Homo-oligomer: A and B are copies of this chain.
C-alpha cells in the first residue's frame, strides 16, 4: 500500500517535503475541476499556508508537469492536477465545471497542414475545449 506518493514525487525531483506541498497536492487531486487560489485556500485546514506559498508551489508543480494552469473567463488563474506529463488537453463542462483529461492531442495533423498554408512554423499551442459532460446532457434531456 503506497501512502507516500506525493512524498516520493517530491523527493524524486529534489524538492523538500513540506506540509504545504503535501496538502496542496492532496487538494488538487481531490477536486474534479480546476481551482482558483482562493478556492484552494478555503479548502485548507488551519493552520494553512499563506497565499504566496500557494502560488509559489503551484508554480513549481507546473514546472514539473504535475499541474497546469489557465486563466478562466473571469480572468482568474485556475489550477488542475495532471495525471501525465505528456502533451494533452482538457475538456470542461460548462454546467458542472467538471474537467476531464483527454488522451493525446487531436490537432497534430491539422497543425502541420496549417503550417503549409500560412508559412508559420508552429512551436506550441493552447486549446481549451468546453462542452456538456455526459451527466449534464442527461439531466437536460430529462427536463
A-side interface residues toward B, CB under 8 Å? 71, 75, 77, 91, 93-94, 100, 102-103, 106-107, 109-111, 113-115, 117-134, 137
Q: Are B106 and A113 in contact (CB under 8 A)?
A: yes
Please, how many angstroms separate the alpha-carbon atoms of A103 and B117 in the complex? 10
Residue of B nearest to A129 (CB): B125
Residue of B nearest to A102 (CB): B118
Please, how many angstroms separate the alpha-carbon atoms of A139 and B64 in the complex? 33
Instruction: List 14 contacting pairs A-B, 8 Å CB cutoff, sorted by A.
Output: A93-B120, A100-B118, A100-B120, A102-B118, A106-B107, A106-B114, A107-B110, A111-B129, A120-B131, A120-B132, A120-B133, A122-B130, A123-B131, A126-B128
Residue of B nearest to A108 (CB): B110
Give me 9 other A-B pairs in contact (C-beta within 8 A), A120-B129, A121-B132 excluded: A91-B118, A94-B123, A100-B118, A115-B131, A120-B131, A120-B134, A125-B129, A126-B126, A127-B128
